[in-house]
Amino acid sequence: MTESQKKEKEKEKNDDLFQSALIPFRKAADLLGVHEELMNILLEPKRMIIVSIPVTMDDCTTKVFRGYRVQYNDMLGPTKGGIRYHPDVNIGEVKALAFWMTWKCIIADIPYGGAKGGISVNPKELSKAELERLSRAYVQALAPFIGPNRDIPAPDVYTNPEVMAWMTDEYQKIVGQPVFGAFTGKPVVFGGSKGRDIATALGGFYITEKAVDVFGITEKTAAIQGFGNAGMTMAHLLHEAGYSVVAVSDSKGGIYQKDGIDIPKLIEHKKKTGSVAGFPGTKKITSREVLEQDAAILVPAALENQITEENADRVKAKLVVELANGPTTPEASEILFKKGIHVLPDILANSGGVTVSYFEWVQNQMGYYWSEEEVREKLKEKMLSAFDNVNNAANLFKTDMRTGAYIHALQKLIEVLKYKGFTATCTIPGKMEQKWFLNSHGK
Ligand code: GLU
């Protein structure tokens, strides 16, 4: 076994992220009184696929990459979720991300289950041709398990419309049909939806405006960690809405300017230099320091585990909008809640991305495409109604919005399962009538 194969094996044991993802979920299930037997089903992914992907590199050597796809739950429809290219990708992470997708899709009120995929790779070290071969090989390995009515991948960290185009093209070659709904997040000219590129941030922005109103936040300052697709678009939207964005960061570092950063100019700078770092007229800070700046709205839009037990106490924001998946640990969530900081949890805040993915899939099935205005209108309606559902559940159960989000999602899932008659095969007299989905404390 080579060193890198050993490292990959080590990563596969990592279950920490998934275990911590379960903490608020269990809390919600307890408050709701979800039956233990149903919990046992929901705590396990339906299918986990690990593939080895040999790729010929530009120098004619062959490298073997490891790819993952976890299809967590398909009780409500085909599974859905992005594909991540990152050196830290491992099965535990993909499992947690697939778990979050499951609840995100229910909260977004779209007819899907949850999945996630990834490849353990540093895409910055590969040429474009190598990335294309890797992406196509990933689809070859997973083709029997995906499809428009089975499992529909999309972009995630370090994947984009171009990667989706390669993957769609490869899938179409394999099945011998021009199937477009097998992937979402495609380029608009190749079966994509207008508005998909900005959807994650725009959805988050709609409910940020709503939350500001509902929670009575008057100060118009923001800090954003992460300047990829979601972070950059959010910075732009907030800037245009009159917010002063005082701090931002990306993987190379952070910047601060107390009077507000000129976001359009910063976007030009990032496009030119590849980073926000070194933007003239700003002070250099670390990416972690962005989280602690004096700004009313904090948007973590990078990776997991950024707001932790260690720094949560120093968060000064009044509202945290989780555009990243899993940026706040369960311990940190408790601290923020006690401090009275409102958190729009990831499974609500970043659901705009998968919502417009759903619109894309619908358009693909119909072969008829909507205007950007239509997409925005439909997205806004869905986001605002998801916000209300989550906020109402949180208020009703006197808990934080993350727990409220899981409560709302669990209630909806149970409602469907009751119709599906999950216990139909049970023939013991009297047992059928039992309230199987909720336990004796069930509400
Ligand atoms: N990767 C995005 C997410 O985490 C989008 C998923 C999708 O569009 O299917 O929600």
Q: Are 308 and 332 contacting, i.e. CB atoms less than 8 angstroms apart?
A: yes
pLDDT single digits (tens) 143-193:
999 999 999 999 999 999 999 999 999 999 999 999 999 999 999 999 999
Query: What percent of the residues of the chain are helix, what percent strand, and what percent coil, each to the nearest 5?
Result: 50, 15, 35
Check pLDDT > 60 for residue 435. no
Verify whether residue 116 is a known catalytic residue. Answer: yes
Side chain identity, residue 401: M
Paired with 222 in beta bridges are: 245, 297
Tell me, what's the pLDDT at 1? 72
| Exposure string for 380-392, b = 16+ CB within 10 A, e = fewer | bebbeebbebbbe
Ligand 1: residue of 70, 146, 156 to mutate (most ligand atoms within 8 A of CB) is 156
**The pair of three-digit structure tokens given for residue 343, joined into one six-digit string:** 């958190």
- Among protein residues, the one with the nearest Cα to ligand 1's atom 8 is 354
CA of 325 to the centre of ligand 1 (A): 10
Ligand 1: residue of 94, 322, 350 to mutate (most ligand atoms within 8 A of CB) is 350
The minimum-distance atom of ligand 1 relative to the CA of 156 is: 1
Q: Which of these is catalytic: 27, 95, 116, 380? A: 116
Tell me, what's the pLDDT at 419? 84
Structure letter (DSSP) for residue 223: E
CA of 228 to the centre of ligand 1 (A): 14
Helix (H, G, I), strand (E, B) or coil at 35: coil
Mean pLDDT over residues 110-137, rounded? 98
pLDDT single digits (tens) 211-267:
999 999 999 999 999 999 999 999 999 999 999 999 999 999 999 999 999 999 999
Side chain identity, residue 223: A
Measured from CB, residues less than 6 Å from any atom of ligand 1 are 80-82, 154, 156, 184-185, 325, 350, 353-354, 357
Q: Alpha helix locations (H) across 75-228?
A: 91-107, 128-142, 161-175, 199-214
What pairing do the DSSP bridges indicate for beta strands 244-250 and 253-256? antiparallel
Count how many residues are written for the chain.
Answer: 443
Banded model confidence at residue 12, pLDDT cuts 50, 70, 90? low
The minimum-distance atom of ligand 1 relative to the CA of 350 is: 10
Side chain identity, residue 306: Q
The minimum-distance atom of ligand 1 relative to the CA of 104 is: 10
Q: Report the chain's mean pLDDT, rounded to a whole number.
A: 95
The backbone torsions φ and ψ at residue 247, rounded to the nearest 5 degrees and listed phi first, read -145, 140
Compute CA distances 14 → 162, 231, 324, 327, whole Å: 30, 28, 20, 17
Q: Are 157 and 120 contacting, i.e. CB atoms less than 8 angstroms apart?
A: no
Banded model confidence at residue 418, pLDDT cuts 50, 70, 90? confident
Banded model confidence at residue 432, pLDDT cuts 50, 70, 90? low
- Domains of the chain: which residue ranges? 45-185, 199-349
Compute CA distances 65 → 90, 96, 152, 163, 291, whole Å: 12, 21, 22, 17, 34
Banded model confidence at residue 430, pLDDT cuts 50, 70, 90? low
CA of 24 to the centre of ligand 1 (A): 21
Compute CA distances 399 → 56, 173, 185, 241, 313, whole Å: 52, 50, 34, 30, 19
CA of 379 to the centre of ligand 1 (A): 14
Domain pair 45-185 / 199-349, same fold? yes
Tell me, what's the pLDDT at 291? 98
* Homologous superfamily of 45-185: Leucine Dehydrogenase, chain A, domain 1 (3.40.50.10860)
Q: Would you say domain 199-349 falls under CATH 3.30.230.70?
A: no
178 alpha carbon, distance to own chain's centre: 28
Banded model confidence at residue 103, pLDDT cuts 50, 70, 90? very high
Q: How many CA atoms lie within 13 A of 134 on its CB side?
A: 28
Reported pTM: 0.95
402 alpha carbon, distance to own chain's centre: 14
CA of 200 to the centre of ligand 1 (A): 8
